[in-house]
Amino acid sequence: MSRIRVLCRHCGHVVVPGDAIDLLIWSDEPDPEPSYYSFRCTTCALRTVMLLDEPQLQLLLAHGARVRRYGAVRRQPSPSPALPPPQPGRPPLTHDDLLDLHLLLEQPDWWDHLLAAGEGRPRGAPGGQVS
């Protein structure tokens, strides 16, 4: 199996199997959007999502990355509701956060990951454990 060196947002450079990388390709031609690649780090298990350019696309395809298309959701004619303002002490929600959540929800053990992400926070605090 082909392996490739990628940059984990937590660990730095790591080596992952080529087929462990998802290529998220925008498939709605009249309304272009960026494409991304995504992988789960073999060291820390966190998922990293990065913008994808054409040379990276060709390289990752050659290493066996999987292509996934997105873009089926049509924009509403009315403006989207504004995101809620960030809570004090917390960073604002970004498009990368939403994409991470989308990918997480496709995993069969997504609930366990969410619970693990909330560990260490006081019960009842925003983002804390729910039982």
User: Hey, what amino acid is at 47?
Assistant: R
Least CB distance from residue 3 to Zn ion, whole Å? 15
Q: Which residues contact 60 (CB under 8 A, 6 or more apart)?
A: 4, 18, 21, 23, 37, 52
Site string for Zn ion, 82-101 (x = CB under 5 A): --------------------
**Residue 11 contacts Zn ion per CB under 5 A:** yes
- Yes or no: say if 14 and 8 are a contact pair by the CB < 8 Å rule: yes
- Residue 107 gets which letter from DSSP? S
User: Which residue in the set 8, 20, 24, 49 belongs to the binding site for Zn ion (CB under 5 A)?
Assistant: 8
Binding characters for Zn ion, 41-80, by CB under 5 A (x = yes): x-xx------------------------------------
